[in-house]
Every structure is written in structure tokens, then in C-alpha cells.
A = this chain, B = another copy of it.
């Protein structure tokens, strides 16, 4: 089952004005869609970041792996390593930890690994979960992912023009969710998201307002949803003393506190005094962080992400490691489309040690905007039933892919940069890392 041709298509889709510690989501999120055209008409699908520098790395790797067998993942990883070289890709938003050449290779490899597994599954008529040891759960629970947000992108008019040029819906305008800039707004958002998807856990993206305000929002969520597990993620916006103070004030309220402060050392200091486990997708984000992170007992929950941990198989290896160290495991999410959701679901389904409902930005995506044929992915009581079809269980819609590629071409964005966008709107803005 050889790879005969590789297509990497950059796409864009509308993204609401979601606030975080480093700025605000731009009107469009960027992704790359991988197609591995293999023998017998099999096409393997993958999805990853869409920043221009990452696309260059994907293209270099795509050339290098053409002709290889989709079952030879170890050798593909080696070839990707040579093709990518020692350069380090850094996300432009800084929300997934530092960059390194090893993390970069694993990130590029990930995109192709998922596509290879999709091709393998299609070739042998099995869902990807079966290639990962088989599903141990029929559906995968996700968490509501709440954001402080503006009602619309301030550049709505300009965005609308761009969106119209691309033939899509008006870009950047009113997203239907309204603003959420205080505890009431957050509770309103939570209620609507829970009503619509049935989520059984709630995460608030913090690091936007002073810690006192965010603590107040968490207490408002607790009052509104007395039974639901709650989490708060300020993306390392706090100093160690602030982190400890917040942790103490939210004792018994949060099931975990995510990346209160930066770095393994800082997290370890907070962890020694915090009454709840600390989670991370920022201080332990590459293999070289595992030993120091676990030896220093800096984290209680690893939020894995197959997009940078080397794909589905290597992410599964993490689960064994976490189980051995009595560290919880869940999943981090960036803004993503259906191929990534399918990959997350197949992986989580086949992962025995999965301690918490996973993250997803899915509700922030327009329902009619994706590259996959609708229907294979749905939420039932906050969980996604594992698709039963071969491979990832989703099918590419070529017309939809063309539409989102047109939107990419028209939108003008070439890399995600929440801070630069915020600065265009509010000159002098400084990221809150650490801000308090």
C-alpha cells in the first residue's frame, strides 16, 4: 500500500472572537488537509496546522515520503525527520509550549501518521481504533470549552467583504453566541453549550481578566451547575504565588487547574501546594519534557495532543507512561475540523487510560463549515460515538474542501497570531504571560 501522491491543501474556516491570555482568535482559523493517494484508489486523510511555515515543512515531508508504504510508520518518521531537518517550528500564538526540532518533527510526522493510519484502515476494512488495539469505549466524552469573547470581530465589515469574495458566509461578523465578558455571560454560554451538546464537564479558558474575576466566573458556574466538573486554564498567565492563591481559593471547586504558570519548575512549585491536580499542554509538550516533568511531579494531568505528540500511536504510548506514573490523561484541542475530531475520537476510544473528558473547540465552528461529509460525527450526551467505518470513519467532501481552500486564499491570513490581531485592534496590548 504505497503512497503515490500527496496533496496538502491549506484551508480556512470562520472563528469567533475568542479571547485568551495572548490576544484574541482571528476571524479565520487555518488548517492543512492532507490526502495520501495510495494504491487501489485508497486515499488517507490527515489534518494539522495551517500556518505558512508549517505548510512548507509539510510539503517538504510530503515529497520525501512519496513512494513509501503506509504501514512503514517508523521509517516514515525517520524520513520526515531528515526532510524537516533541525529547524524548529514555533506556533505564533505560544499556547502550546515552547518549540524544539524534536517537537517540530513529531508535529509534521503526526499529520502523515494519521493519514497513513486512515489509509491502513481503509485498506484492511477496519476503523483506526482497531489498528490501535481496538475501542475500549463506544463513545468519547468531551468537555464544554468556554471562552470569554466579543459578540463579533471588530473588523466585521472587512471580514464580511473577504468572506463574500470567497463565496462563503459573511466573515467575522456576529457568530450567534453573543458576548461573554463577565460571570453572567460565561454562565449563559455554558448553559447554551450544554443544552446543545450535553457536555458533562466544563472548561473555562482564562488568563483574560484578573484572577479574581475568573474565580468569580468559576463560582458562578459552580452555582449554576452544582454537579459538573469544572476546569480553568489561564495559559500560564499567572506567577507562582498567584497560582497558589487561586488554587487555594478554588479548592473543592475545580477538578483540575490547567497551566496556571509557566515551565516545569514553576508548575512543580505550584503543584506542591495546590489542592487539585495541575494539568498541562504547555510545560510538557515533547518527549524531552517527560522525565523532568514527571520526576519533579510538576503535573497531575497530561493534556495530550496527537498533532504534536507524534500521531496516534505515540500518543497511545503516552497513556501507558501516564498510567505508570499515576498521572491523569486527557486531550488538548486547537480550533479544528472533522478529520482531527475523528482522529481524536479513534485515539481516545482505543486508549484505556483516559481520565477526563477531552477538550474540543468543535462548538465554535460553524455547523455547515467542514471538509468532511456531514453525519459521521455527532454529539450524544456530550460524547462522540466512535465512527464505525473503515479508517478514521469520515469521508472528504471535495466541494467543501475547495470552498474552504478558496476561503483560505481570500482571507489573507497566513499564520495564526492572536497577539498581532489584538494589537491591530488595541495598540499597546501586551500578552498576559505572566500578567498577574
Contacts and interface: CB of A to CB of B under 8 A. Distances in A.
Contact of A74 (B75, B131, B134): B134
9 contacts: A71-B134, A73-B133, A74-B135, A76-B134, A124-B124, A291-B326, A294-B294, A317-B320, A321-B321
A424 interface: no
A320 B71 contact: no
A321 B326 contact: no
A119 B131 CA distance: 13
Nearest to A131: B131
Interface size grouping (class) on chain A: 35 or more
When all copies of this chain in the complex are counted, the total is 2
A380 B326 CA distance: 43
A127 B316 CA distance: 21
A74 B352 contact: yes
Interface of A: 69, 71-78, 123-124, 126, 130-131, 133-136, 287-288, 290-291, 294-295, 313-314, 316-321, 323-326, 350, 352
B73 A288 contact: no
A157 to B, nearest CB: 50
A290 B325 contact: yes
Contacts of A131: 131
A291 B295 CA distance: 9
A324 B74 contact: no
A318 to B, nearest CB: 7
A77 B133 CA distance: 10
A256 to B, nearest CB: 20
B134 A287 contact: no
A74 B319 CA distance: 13
Nearest to A318: B320
